[in-house]
Amino acid sequence: MAKNTTRFVCKDCGYEAPKWLGRCPSCGLWNTLREESLPVRVSDRSGPKLPALSLADIPEAPSYRFPSGIGELDRVLGGGMVPGSLILLGGDPGIGKSTLLLQVADRIASPRKKVLYLSGEESAGQIRLRASRLGIGNPAIYFLAEQNIERLDEYLQDIDPGLVIIDSIQTVYVASISSIPGSITQLRESTAKIMELAKTTERVFVLVGHVTKEGALAGPKVLEHMVDVVIYFEGEKNFSFRLLRGIKNRFGATDEIGLLEMSGMGLREVLDPSQIFLSLRDSGVSGSAVAASFEGSRPLLIEVQALVAPTGLGYARRMASGIDQNRLALIIAVLEKRRGFNLGAFDVYLKVTGGVFLRDPAADLGIAAAILSSYRDKPLAADMVFAGELGLAGDIRPVPFLEARLKEAVKMGFRRAMVPPGAANALNKELGLEIIEIKNLDDFIDKVTEG
Ligand code: TYD
Ligand code: MG
């Protein structure tokens, strides 16, 4: 019998150390190691010996999927849910994960395909309340307040659901392990148990995972590599727009996004996203620019706002919401180096409107334009969009799907676009847009700040 000992696990990245350390050697954060008991592992050869199969003898798995009933989610899933798969839906508390999954449950549940909704987070009454608000009364949805994952297989036998929703993975546990629910050990063991259930049946399991303040799933990396599909639910709580982002997908593309809007009656699919983003825009003010970005497989026009103000205290602040902080620092550094802007004496705040997190490198130009506009305190032309990536040497790099980006701009009423050098040749001349090619960063700065 092995001894039941303990180890120290980083609550952020899952790194394990035999003794306590002040700083995690893996992720570098301080004071994140927590003591957790080690699950007892005894050498066990009692199961049947499995044959090793030749590749030629393996039957092909059926490759069908069933739709979730919500088109934007199916888009991210790659067409629907694959039987026997495990999906992780991560997001901030209150963003709408439970709402989305209840709506999915309603679309899927039928006498032939029941849905089991296991909630360690809310009571049956609370879920009922949400269901009433959404107008959902589907009798094929079964609710369960059980938190012990080891008992799950009993319910699976009783109810025989096609879809099992576990809300959330942080509130369930495996009773044979002494760590508290939500600890790394419990997350890992519970997920492993669920994965086993998913692989041995044709059921689909969806896990809800809460995201920590730092923006990673609590106990993040551990879960991400265990599951088949990872989807993040992003957005700002006080803004109705929501974005589903595929991070990992064993059955399809990973860079796809889905767009939803939270309404009084649950989540609705968004058919014209650029419209929503731009509806909030006040184009007469300085510091606002529109980036022709591309998310997943579709173009998206997004407004970027910058505020550049003299630094009051000793050091200049850089704050970004909706883009990576390092990316902002980089764009500022490139601007400073090229033209001797004294941004070192200015605070720079940057915000992407709509609560979207902008990853597309082609938004660099829009971000730089917003900063320049605020620095000079001059509004940009209201009918201008920007698409281009900034190189470290101050070069403007070409971007993929330029034509699709610009078509979206035309659709939204824009008349002019600043694009990377040489791009105009490749574009359809009938685009109906004045194309302004930028030679280099100096040229860009001139064009943005003149007129
Ligand atoms: P919820 O699904 O509980 O979030 P999560 O499971 O991610 O923590 O959503 C909570 C928020 O959504 C809450 O602030 C209320 C709001 N909401 C609506 O605006 N409309 C609705 O129809 C529903 C059900 C919720
Ligand atoms: Mg919830």
- Asked if residue 355 and residue 218 are part of one domain, the reply reads no
For the domain that residue 153 is a member of, what is the CATH number? 3.40.50.300
- Is 47 within the bounds of a domain? no
The DSSP 8-state label assigned to residue 15 in this structure reads -
pLDDT of residue 279: 76
- Is 440 within the bounds of a domain? yes
SS3 assignment, position 332 = helix
- Is 242 within the bounds of a domain? yes
Give backbone dihedrals phi and psi of 309, rounded to 5 degrees, phi first.
Answer: -135, 145
- Is 312 within the bounds of a domain? yes
Instruction: List Cα–Cα distances, 408 to 8, 52, 206, in angstroms.
Output: 51, 53, 34
Domain count for the chain, please give it.
Answer: 3
Region of residue 288 (left: phi > 0; alpha: psi -120 to 50; beta: else): beta
For residue 415, what are the domain limits? 275-450
Atom of ligand 1 nearest to the CA of 93: 8
Atom of ligand 1 nearest to the CA of 265: 22
Measured in Å, residue 96 CA sits from the centre of ligand 2 at: 7
Which of 89, 92, 98, 99 to probe ligand 1 with, by most ligand atoms within 8 A of CB? 99
- Asked if residue 432 and residue 309 are part of one domain, the reply reads yes
pLDDT of residue 87: 96
- Asked if residue 213 and residue 191 are part of one domain, the reply reads yes
- Is 257 within the bounds of a domain? yes
The pairing of strands 161-167 and 141-144 is unpaired
Query: Domain end: 213, 244, 271, which one?
Result: 271
Is residue 125 within a helix (H) or strand (E), and if so which, with residue range?
Answer: helix 124-133
Contact 416, 436 (CB under 8 A): yes
Mean pLDDT by 10 residues, the chain (451 residues): 69 84 87 80 77 86 84 93 94 92 96 94 91 95 92 93 94 87 86 91 92 60 87 84 90 86 92 79 87 89 94 88 93 86 90 86 96 93 94 92 93 93 83 91 87 54
- Asked if residue 224 and residue 208 are part of one domain, the reply reads yes
pLDDT of residue 234: 87
Supply the residue whose CA is at minimum distance from atom 12 of ligand 1: 96
223/166 Cα distance (integer angstroms): 14
- Is 378 within the bounds of a domain? yes
The pairing of strands 16-17 and 141-144 is unpaired
- Asked if residue 220 and residue 85 are part of one domain, the reply reads yes
- Is 285 within the bounds of a domain? yes
- Asked if residue 310 and residue 404 are part of one domain, the reply reads yes
Residues with CB under 6 A from ligand 1: 91, 93-99, 130, 133-134, 262, 264-266
Residue positions counted in the chain: 451
Nearest listed ligand to the Cα of residue 130: 1
Nearest listed ligand to the Cα of residue 97: 1
- Asked if residue 209 and residue 334 are part of one domain, the reply reads no
- Is 85 within the bounds of a domain? yes
Measured in Å, residue 237 CA sits from the centre of ligand 2 at: 13
Other Cβ atoms within 10 Å of 398 Cβ, number: 15
- Asked if residue 417 and residue 305 are part of one domain, the reply reads yes
pLDDT of residue 2: 45
Let me know if 155 is exposed, middle or buried by CB neighbors in 10 A (0-12, 13-18, 19+). middle
Supply the residue whose CA is at minimum distance from atom 9 of ligand 1: 96
- Asked if residue 144 and residue 287 are part of one domain, the reply reads no
